[in-house]
Copies of this chain bind each other. A is one copy, B any other.
Amino acid sequence: MADDMIRVTYRIECAGDVEALAAKIASDQSTGTFTELPAETEAVRARCAARVEQVMPLKPLTVPSIPDPAGQGPYHRADVTIAYPLEAIGTDVAALMTIAIGGVFAVKGVTGIRVMDIDLPSAWACHPGPQFGIAGSRQLMGVEEGPMIASIIKPSLGLLPDETAAVVADLCAAGVDFIKDDEKLMSPAYSPLEQRIAAIMPVIRDHEQKTGKRVMYAFGISSADPDTMMRNHDLVVEAGGNAAVVNINSIGYGGMTFLRKRSALCLHAHRNGWDILTRHPGLGLEFRAYQKIWRLLGVDQFQINGIQAKYWEPDESFVRSFEDCMTPIFSEADRPLPVVCSGQWGGQAVETYERTGRTLDLMYLGGGGIHGHPMGPAAGVRAIRQAWDAAAEGLSLADKARDHPELAASLAKWG
C-alpha cells in the first residue's frame, strides 16, 4: 500500500525536540487541534491521520533561520518525512498545497522549515504535464540537435510595438531559434499585446519565407484574469504564433490549470517571485519540490537561471535545478525543456555542459549577451554557438576563440 500515500520531506529547525515537533505538525495538518476532541476517533484517525515516517538528524545551528529574540539555541534540525493518506488529500493541487505545504509554515515553535521534496503516488499522473516539453519544443523550432539558442527583447520595457518588431527582425537575422518578451512585458498601454502581435508576427513569417527557418516567439500573455489570458492566448494562435511566456507565480495554480486545459501554445514558464519562496536556505521550498507541481500543471519550458547568473542564485543551486528538470516524475514526457538564462553570454557554456550531465537538451538564453555584443547581435549569437561547440568538442573557450573572432570579442568584453 506504499502507493496510496503522499510523502513530503521537510527540513525542520527548532530549539526543542524536532521529533516531537514533527509529530505535532503531522497531527495539526490532519485531524488534530489545540485541545482534545471526543469525535477524533480511531476511525477518523485511520482515514486521515498523517504520520512521521523518517527523521534524519542534521547538524544544529547557532543562529536560527527566523529570529528568536526570547529564545536560545542550539537550534536542532532534521529532515523529516511525513506521509499523508491520498484519501485525505486526493489529487487536487489546492488540497496538496493547503494540507501538506502551506499550513506547516504556521506552526508555533519552528525557527525554520523548508519543504525539501514531495513524493507523489501514481494517482497524480492524472495531471496533464507538458504538452510539448523537450521533443515538442525541438520540433516547433526545427532544431533537431544541439542547444536551442534564444534571446529576449531588450530593453525589457518601454519599446513601442514597431520598435519591438525591429528588434525581432535583428534577432531573426542574427540566427536565434527563439525570442521572448521580457517576463515583465504583458499588455501595457504603450505596447498592447494585440498591437505587438500584429507588429511582430509578420517579421517572423517573412523570416520563415526567406530562410525556411521558423523562429519561435513567446509572447507575454499572463494575466491574473484567466479569461483575459485566454483571449491573449487566442490572439497569438490566430496570428500563427506558437508560444507564450507565463509568469506562473503571478497567475497562480488556477490560472495555469485553466490555460493548460485550453492551450495550443508552448508554455515558457518564468518563475518570477520564486525567490521569495526559496532564497533563505532554512525557509520556504526547494526548487525540487516546487517544480514538480508546475510541471504536472503543464510547463513546457522552465527558466532556471544559469552559471554565474546576474541574480543571487549560487551555481550549485542552478545545477540541482537542471537535474530536477531532467528527472522524470512519472515518465520522460513530463520533463520540461530547461531554459538556462540570466547574465548568459556563452562564457558559461563549457561549465554548464560539464556540470549538467553533458546534455545539449536545453535552451540557452542570452539577453544583454547578444544585444550588447561589440560586433552586433548576429556576432553575439555566433559567439554563443561557438561556445557551445567548444563545450561539445571538449575545447576550452580560449582555444575555440583563437579562430573564432566573435567568441574572442565576447571573452574580451565579459570574460
Q: Give A residues with C-beta under 8 Å from B.
A: 29-37, 39-40, 43-45, 47-49, 63, 65-67, 87-90, 92-95, 97-99, 101-103, 105-110, 154-159, 163, 167, 183-184, 186-190, 222-229, 247, 249-258, 261, 270, 272-277, 279-285, 297, 310-313, 343, 367-369, 371-372, 414
Cα A31 to Cα B368 with chains together (Å) = 12
Q: Which residue of the partner chain B has the closest CB to A246?
A: B94
Whether the pair A94, B247 counts as a contact (CB closer than 8 A) is yes
Cα A275 to Cα B97 with chains together (Å) = 13
Partner of A33, one of B156, B222, B279: B156
Q: Which residues of B contact A102 (CB under 8 A)?
A: 247, 249-250, 272-276
Cα A392 to Cα B289 with chains together (Å) = 48
Whether the pair B47, A90 counts as a contact (CB closer than 8 A) is no
Whether the pair A87, B226 counts as a contact (CB closer than 8 A) is no
Whether the pair A247, B98 counts as a contact (CB closer than 8 A) is yes
Cα A105 to Cα B222 with chains together (Å) = 20
Cα A352 to Cα B283 with chains together (Å) = 31
Whether the pair B39, A167 counts as a contact (CB closer than 8 A) is yes
Q: Which residues of B contact A95 (CB under 8 A)?
A: 184, 186, 188, 222, 250
Q: How far is the CB of A342 from chain B (nearest CB, A)?
A: 9
Whether the pair A229, B251 counts as a contact (CB closer than 8 A) is no
Whether the pair B310, A34 counts as a contact (CB closer than 8 A) is yes
Whether the pair A250, B105 counts as a contact (CB closer than 8 A) is no
